[in-house]
Copies of this chain bind each other. A is one copy, B any other.
Amino acid sequence: MAHSTVPTPTRPTTSDSIAQALSVAIHEHKIAPGTKLGEDELAEIYGVSRTVVRAALQTLAHMKLVDIRRNRGASVASPSIKEAHEVFEARELLEPRTARSAAKYATSSDIALLERHISDEHAALDAADPGRALYLSGLFHTEIARIAQQATIAGFIDTLIARSSLIIALYWRRESALCEKHAHHALVQALAKKDEQQAEELMRSHLVDLHSALDLRERNGRTQSLKDALSQ
């Protein structure tokens, strides 16, 4: 789970570790939406048989990170505009409540962990590695869900964040560059103060900001599906 992403040369790789590696690579925008994920290709990369690769791909398909079509194989999912709205609406429903819960349960070590996440994120941004920054930004939300001690909802949020990464890859508009910066920091402060109301409200506005920073207008001339066709 360190820096190694796609290669992961030799290990007692179970299918889950391959799924994890692919997931991180997608999170970091090292693999673009629509990219074909051939079974033989992955099997050779990871030094395992197609059996294991198929299991990993199935796991990712369940999170909606990859699309598997019968006899057509797997490719990185490219969420539609409707799906993008749905994902962020779901996040706006789940995460504010989760942030409130996190404010109730957060310990001082949790706060410290979150602050390290933020500084890692900034470091990645300074290192001109926006993909990694995005991945860490997602981990921040995942971590809050974990702190809230609702494993079930945390699982849902995990998949929503994963899909958000794909959505951002497809629909992010550069104009809204400095989107959050200190939004996460303010949230951590609310958690540290155990201010449930503020944590909930900060999370809600943070997500609304993210949602509105996407360009989710239908492209003229179906540029979208053309792009998909090209990337396949």
- Chain A residues at the B interface, C-beta cutoff of 8 Å: 14, 51, 54-55, 58-59, 62, 70, 83, 86-87, 89-90, 93-94, 97, 150-153, 156, 160
**Chain A, interface SS category:** helix
The reply to whether A87 and B152 contact each other, CB–CB distance below 8 Å, is yes
Contact indicator A156/B97 (Cβ below 8 Å): no
| CB <8 Å contact, B86 and A150 | yes
Q: Which residues of B contact A97 (CB under 8 A)?
A: 93
> Do A93 and B90 have beta carbons less than 8 Å apart?
no
Q: Do A90 and B58 touch across chains, with their CB atoms under 8 A apart?
A: no
Contact A150 B62 (CB under 8 A): no
Q: Say whether B153 contacts A90, CB under 8 Å.
A: yes
Which residues in B have their C-beta under 8 angstroms from that of A160? 152
Q: Which chain B residue lies CB-closest to A150? A: B86
| Central interface residue in A70, A90, A94, by most chain B CB within 10 Å | A90
The 10 closest A-B pairs by CB, nearest first: A86-B152, A62-B62, A90-B152, A156-B156, A90-B153, A86-B150, A87-B152, A58-B58, A93-B97, A86-B151
Interfacial chain B residues near A90, Cβ < 8 Å = 150, 152-153, 156
Q: Tell me whether B150 and A89 are in contact (CB under 8 A).
A: yes
27 interchain pairs, CB-CB under 8 A: A14-B70, A51-B51, A54-B55, A55-B58, A58-B58, A58-B59, A59-B62, A62-B62, A83-B151, A83-B152, A86-B150, A86-B151, A86-B152, A87-B152, A89-B150, A89-B152, A90-B150, A90-B152, A90-B153, A90-B156, A93-B93, A93-B94, A93-B97, A93-B153, A94-B94, A152-B160, A156-B156
Give bound CA distance, A61 to B83, whole Å: 24
Bound: A166/B14 CA distance, A: 29
Cα distance A58–B14 in the bound complex, in angstroms: 14
A59 CA / B87 CA spacing, docked (Å):
22
